[in-house]
Structure 1
């Protein structure tokens, strides 16, 4: 660390330099205020040992200049004129002071402490710098800083990544960011919509058929990434198929007796709570632990409200370019209206709202009334759609007095399934499409609580 000694006595300069031999500090010295000012510009010291009484001025004048530098050094002031000068120096920004005379040990300890404080403050400043982008992801909020760190960690490994978050939070964008930052970036990024595939469709879509293996998504993702979107929506049989792929890295095309090797990195996502799904028996326990190696949770929009305006302005600029329209901006009340809304549909809802506003607005400035109108219309549409669905309770004309607790209905169904399977819990679990461990756990729980139908 560069250390500048500013002392008008050449003898003392030599003594102080000798005191600091072996300290790891790179020491140089000057004897005048003018030379010290020049050294600040030309040499950029990290530490300054500063005498106040100099032949061409007051050392405190140099201290005033250091605090205005973009990377100010830590200054330790030397004084032989009492603590009044020292207090003044501290008020002006000095890191510490030494009262003359002092020995080698005191000098070394004081300067090394100042060096350590300077290093720590620089590290804190570096950590405090917030990023606004990482690949396709955007946001400077604390929640997104945590996402960026996890994405970078995942990009440097081959581990299966599991991305969780509500619908519309950007789970696919996070998966793409991991892919783009990884060594597999030159390879393809293939998306599998698990929610739309039945068991037989999943195998055909993933693995292809005998003689047409190249048409399978696993083969298409070779040397790249396979993104399994909404993996918790898969049935039990489909989960078993997927488990074999993750566990062994091999698969068998439909209608083929030969196995093929999968050269893919797997990233999965879900908008459900995977732990709850596992405990309820809808997600295989072994698949859960295979997927849940390094989890990444995407925050909801309400958890990153600081990003709303940044995202909104970016959407407006991008959509205006796509639609070949004039650039639009938000009025101050309009910006407040955006920040005051909870955005239950998350980033996707915000983007759709910005598109509607830009395409329907008669002015290039979007105000709060336009925003409230678009949001209100969308909420009314959703509300009407929900009300238009007759409830199963109304259709069945069920009387409230006949409603049973859920555990009772569940217990009755499980016991009937076990009886129908001649007491085999494993077979009953297969028909019920839950894990056997789930049935065992529920039976033990009911027994411990002495619950009987």
Structure 2
């Protein structure tokens, strides 16, 4: 994968000249003219180096440098400054810029400066690998450094350079399309098209035409030939989101396409062949869909080569605050508002909420707050009632699960939310003491070990506000063990619920 250098320069003629200077170098130079375009490019592509002009049509270059620093973007910045503005450039060096070059920039100066900083970045990257530090806060379109996300980043790094099919699984709003784009950008197909299709948003009768295209007269309304997504993605990546929504007949045609790389547009007689990498995603349990007969088993095994599970937001710990702060500053800048930070009370409420809509829901909540308010700090009173009223937390003691002894869970402490339970238990205990002398012949109540284990794990997860990693630490269990057991219970519950409705 070639290194990316971003040139932010409002003069098209100068940009063309600079690109000519480096056309034979072992990196790609991209050009944008405005600050907004620069920020959008950096968020999508994460260039290793940015050459920043200080005078732009929509903002000062210093604002972009501040944004890169505040958001901890892993890129180096070289400031391009006019003669006589060296003092300004020195000030920017103190704010995080790596170097500055004076305009007009000569070819040798430009090439030398770029190569020097790219080599330095490469050495820093090698040192990080040697020290096994894998703590990225940003990864393509992702923001967050929690352990579940680091795991997803590693899988993306491993699978992207290969030709293996990838199946992304996760709740709605967890970033499945962002994951697919990251795989595409890390792959050898990065310079070819990335085409996304949402199978759940396309009517059943139009799905075949949408993917494979059609010829004129193929059906009523087909007044022209139309290329499908498979043709448009030739040489690149085709992302099929919500694959489990596709009907069985179309699944059969998709399977043949995946096996042969060939297809016939609707209404055509000639077969076409393309070179496309397929990435699929779903917010359902694909195995359950196979068991229920809604998803072809042969297609499942064809696309489910490398699964990637996108963690729900509630299991990403402090990433919630990092994302909320990012969205707050982004929308405040876009709308000309004063918001800069989030109060500790608001952070606590955000982290304790369950976020059923995941990142998309958090994004909408922050957007709503910025639109309706204009303060410098986001406080608890800015948050909607659904967040502030649903974070009442049970205080419990967690007893780690021992490998050789039964699990015992302590009684919850008295809080408003569990006072009635405690009172009932106290009454029950008192009753037991009064009648203890009558109970010597009664058999003790024994629960199966699997039920005790399940209750202890669920209690720990509830205590940790749904954060499975923290619960595993408290229980002294492997996080993968807790994830596996939790998924098994949820799958069992879904099956029971469906049986109850049949």
Q: TM-score, normalised by structure 1?
A: 0.54
Shift of the 176–255 alpha-carbon distance from structure 1 to 2, 3 Å rule, reads same
> After the TM superposition, which residues 343-382 of structure 1 pair with which residues of structure 2 at under 5 Å, given as runs?
343-373=355-385, 375=387
Asked which structure has the greater CA Rg, the reply is 1
Are residues 123 and 225 of structure 1, via their aligned partners in 2, closer, same or farther at CA, if it must alter by over 3 Å?
Answer: closer
Summarize deviations over 1:83-113 as a string: whole Å, max 9, x none: xxxxxxxxxxxxxxxxxxxxxxxxxxxxxxx
How many Å apart are 1:325 and its aligned residue?
2.6
Determine whether 1:261 maps to 2:266: no
Task: Provide the rounded CA distance (Å) in 2 between the counterparts of 1:144 and 1:370.
Answer: 28
Contact 2:134–2:150, Cα closer than 8 Å, also in 1: no
In 1: Cα distance, 2:187 partner to 2:243 partner:
22
**1:153 and 2:165 aligned:** no
Number of matched pairs: 258
Match in the other structure for 1:189: 194
- 1:363 alignment partner, SS class: coil
Instruction: Give how far 1:124 is off.
Output: 9.6
Q: Aligned pair in 2 of structure 1 residues 360, 125: CA closer, same or farther (>3 Å)?
A: farther
Alignment of 1:198-217 (within 5 A): 198-210=203-215, 215-217=227-229
Residue 318 of structure 2 aligns to a residue whose secondary structure is: helix
Determine if contact 1:131/1:139 at 8 Å carries over to the other structure.
yes
User: How do residues 90-109 of structure 1 correspond to structure 2 at under 5 angstroms?
Assistant: none
TM-score with structure 2 setting the length? 0.49
Q: Find 2:144's aligned residue among 129, 132, 139.
A: 139
Residue in structure 1 matched with residue 293 of structure 2 by the alignment: 281
Q: State the 1:125 CA deviation.
A: 7.9
CA contact (8 A) 1:207 1:213 kept: no
Where does residue 440 of structure 2 map in the other structure? none
**Structure 1: runs of 5 or more not aligned:** 1-121, 380-453
- Alpha-carbon distance in 1 for matches of 2:389, 2:201: 29
Check if 1:249 corresponds to 2:223: no
Aligned mates of 2:225, 2:389 — CA distance in 1 = 48
Measure how far apart 1:340 and its partner are: 1.6
CA distance in 2: counterparts of 1:286 and 1:341, whole angstroms = 39
Unaligned runs of 5+ in 2: 1-126, 217-223, 392-502
CA gap of 1:124–1:228, structure 2 versus 1, over 3 A, is closer
1:319 to 321, 331, 336: 331
> Structure 1 residue 239 and structure 2 residue 251: aligned?
yes
Give CA-to-partner distance per residue, 1:41-74, whole Å, 9 cap, x none: xxxxxxxxxxxxxxxxxxxxxxxxxxxxxxxxxx
Measure how far apart 1:123 and its partner are.
8.9
Task: Give the Cα separation in 2 of the matches to 1:210 and 1:294.
Answer: 35
Measured after TM superposition, the shift of residue 254 of structure 1 is: 0.6
Contact 2:215 2:226 (C-alpha < 8 Å) held by counterparts: no
Closer, same or farther: CA 378–362 of 1 in aligned 2, 3 Å: farther
Deviation (angstroms), 1:308:
0.7
**Relative to 1, partners in 2 of residues 1:369 and 1:327: Cα closer, same or farther, differing over 3 Å?**
closer
Partner secondary structure for residue 195 of structure 2: strand
Query: Would the alpha carbon gap of residues 217 and 142 (structure 1) be closer, same or farther in structure 2, given more than 3 Å must change?
Result: same
Alpha-carbon spacing, 1:150–1:256, altered in 2? closer, same or farther (3 Å) = same
Higher normalized helix content (fraction of residues): 1
